[in-house]
Amino acid sequence: MKNTLYFLFTILLFLSGCKINEEKSVDNSQLKAPSAKILPEKLTNHGDTRIDNYFWMRLSDDQKNSEIPDNQTNDVLGYLNDENAYLKEAMKHTEVFQEKLYNEIVGRIKKDDQSVPVNDNGYSYYSRFEEGADYALYCRKKIEIDKEEVLLNGPEMAKGFSYFGVGARSVSPDNKLLAYGIDTVSRRRYSIYFKNLATGELLLDVLTNTSGEATWANDNKTVFYTKKDPVTLRTDKVYKHVLGTDQSNDVLVFEEKDETFGCGVIKSKSKKYIMTVSYQTLSTEYSYIDADNPNGNWTIVQPREKDLLYNVDHFGDNFYIRTNLNAKNFKLIKTPISKTAKENWVDVIPHRESVLFEGFDIFKNHLVLTERINGLTAIRIKKWEGDEYYLNFSDPAYLANPTSNLDYNTSVLRYSYSSLTTPSSTFEINMDTKDQVLLKQQEVIDPNFLPDNYTSERLFATANDGTKIPVSLVYKKGINKNENTPLLLYSYGSYGSSSEPTFSSTRLSLLDRGFIYAIAHIRGGQEMGRYWYEDGKLLKKKNTFTDFINVGEFLVSQGYTSSEHMYAYGGSAGGLLMGAVLNMKPELWNGVVAAVPFVDVVSTMLDETIPLTTFEFDEWGNPKNKEYYDYMKSYSPYDNVEAKEYPNILITTGYWDSQVQYWEPAKWTAKLRELKTDDNLLIMDCNMETGHGGASGRFERYKRTALTYAFMFDLEKITE
C-alpha cells in the first residue's frame, strides 16, 4: 500500500519543484515546458549502441514503495510532478469546459443502474449502483424469492483507498461461501478473501499475491488459485488451498517453469472438471481433475506443441475443443474423456477459410457458435440433431456475442448486441421458436438522444499492398462532411484483439459537436480472420502502422476531413501504434492522443524482469535475436524520435501501471521535448494513484476523458 509519508513528500515536491512560467497565456510558445535532465546511458546489443538519455527515469517497485525516497526517486517524482503542473497550466483555460464535459458525460449515466441478473445454482446474481456511488453493490436473490442479499458493499469497502478494484467473485457449490479478490494498488496483484454468506463474517483465510480468481472444488472447502511472480507479475503457479489452513501450507499443484507461458485455473461449464491452462501467443496446454476429487491426479488433455492452440469444455462423455490444428481459422472437435490426445480428435465444425470460428456454447439440445464473417460477428444456432440458422442483424457495423449462459438444460440463449448507434443491449432468444425478448438496453440519460439521429457507415480503404482495410464510422446526421470536419480515428491492432464497433454514450460529446468517429480495423487485430492477425505481428508488424496511415489518407481523400482536422487515438499497444504513426507520418494529424503507450519496445522486450515481456516474444519477437532487434528498432517509437515537427500530442500514463510501466511514456515525452522542432502542444498526464486501467471509480475515470476531449476541442476552437 502506498505510504502516507511518501505521498506527503510528492506533494511537497509538486509545490516546490514546478518549472512553469507564471504567465497565464494560453499560447503554448509562452509556457516554459519541463526540462528533464540528460544522463546518457549506453545500451549495446548485437554490436549496436543506443544512447538513452532518460534511462534514469526507471524506478523499481522497492523504490516506489519506500517510505524514504532516494535521490533517483526524488528526481523521477520531481519530473513527473513538473509535467503534471505544466499540463495543468497549459490546459487551464479549458478547466471550465472540462468540468462541463465531465458533468455532461456522467450525466448520461444512469446513477442507480443494475446489471441483468444471471441465474446460477438456485440464485440470481447481479450488481447495482446506488445514485452517486462510484462502486457497485454485488448482490443476489434466491430465485422466486424477492429478498436481496448484499454480498459485497463496494462503496463501504472502498473507503480510505485511492484505488479499489474488485477481482473475480465465486460462490461455493453449496451457496454458503463467497471468494473474492481485492486490489488496492492498481498493480493487478489481488488478495483473495472468503466470506460466510449466512453470517456476513470474513473467514481468517487470506490468499495474497494472486490473480484474484478462486475456483471451487465440489467439496465446498477446497479452492484452486494462481499466484504471481513478485517481479514479473507472471501467473506461474497454481495452488490448492483448504479453508481453515494457513496459506503457507497450500499445496503447489502446478508450476509453469517456461517463462514464455502464463497459467490459470478454471472450472468446466458442467462443473464436473477443474482445469489448469498454460498459455502463450502460439501454444496452450490443459490438464484436468474431477471436481469431486480435488486431491486426484491431473491428466493432460494434449501436451503443448508450438503453434498448437486449443481451449476445452465438457459435455456428456466428451471434451469439446476449439483448436487451430490444421485449421488456421480454428475449428471445433470432440474427443472422448478417456482419449484426449490430438490423434483422437474428431471434427464437429470443420475449418473454413473465409470464416473465423471464435467460440462456442454448449446446451443440452443446441450448439451455439460465435463466428466472424467479413469482419463482423455472427451467432449461429445449431441443433445437435436438426436444423441450424444465423441470427440477423441490420446495422452496417456491430458486435454480437453470447453472454452469461451458465445453464445446460435450457433452450434459451442470452446474447449481447451493440452497434455504433445502438446502446448495449441484452437479449434472450428461444432457440426452438426463435422468439426474442429484450431484457435490457443501456439507458442514456439525455432527452435529446435518439439512435436515429446518428449515421453509421462501413467502408474499405486500400493499403499499400492492395489489402482492403475495413473502416467503421459514426457521425450525427446533418453534419457537413468536408475538409473542415473534425475526425477522430481510433484503433488497437495487436494480439489478435479486434477493435469492435460498439456504442459509447461518452462519444456523444464528440459527435454532437460535429466530430466524425472512425475505427480502422487494421492488421494485428483479428477482424478478417487469423491471417489478419499474423500479417500484423513479428516481422510484419509495420503493416499495422501503415494500414492505419492508409486509412487516415483514405478518409482525407474521400472528403471526410483533412490533416488539419484529423486526430488519432490509441492506448497501450494502440499507444505503440500512435507513437509509430507519429514518427512515420506526423503531418497527417492535427493531434494525437497516446494512452498508457507501449513505446520503448526494444528496451522493454530485452528486459525479462518487466511484466509481460517473456510470454510476448511470439507477438513482438525476441530482440536477443538480431533479426528481431533490428526490426523492432526500426519502428520503436522511442528509438525513432527525430528532430522534426510533430503535431499536438497528449500522453497519459499511471504511476502504478503494471502493464506499460510509467517510465515508457515519461521517457518518450522527455525525448520528444528534447528533439521536436515545432511549437505544438505536448502534454503528459501522469496519474500518481492509478495503473493501466486508470481510476477505479465509476465516475472518476471520465475526468481524463474530459481532458482528452478538451484537448481536441481546443485545437478545433470549440469552446462549449
E strand or H helix at 708, and its extent?
helix 702-715
Q: Catalytic amino acids?
A: 572, 657, 692
Query: Is 195 in contact with 218 (CB distance < 8 Å)?
Result: no
**Residue 282, CA atoms < 13 Å, CB-side half-sphere:** 14
Query: Is 655 in contact with 688 (CB distance < 8 Å)?
Result: yes
Q: How many CB atoms lie within 10 A of CB 399?
A: 20
* Backbone angles phi and psi of 35, in degrees to 5: -125, 110
CA distances from 649 to 170, 185, 477, 646 (A): 43, 28, 29, 8
E strand or H helix at 674, and its extent?
helix 663-675
d(CA 131, CA 112): 5
Q: Is 149 left (phi over 0), alpha (psi -120 to 50) or beta?
A: beta
Which of the 8 DSSP states describes residue 116? P
Q: How many CB atoms lie within 10 A of CB 112?
A: 10
E strand or H helix at 472, and its extent?
strand 468-476
d(CA 474, CA 518): 7
Q: How far is CA 20 from the centre of its chain?
A: 35
Burial class (CB in 10 A: 0-12, 13-18, 19+), 248: exposed
Three-class DSSP category at 74: helix
| Vertex 364 angle, CA 363 and 370, to 5° | 25
Question: Which stretches of 409-529 are DSSP H helices?
Answer: 508-511
Q: How many CB atoms lie within 10 A of CB 547?
A: 28
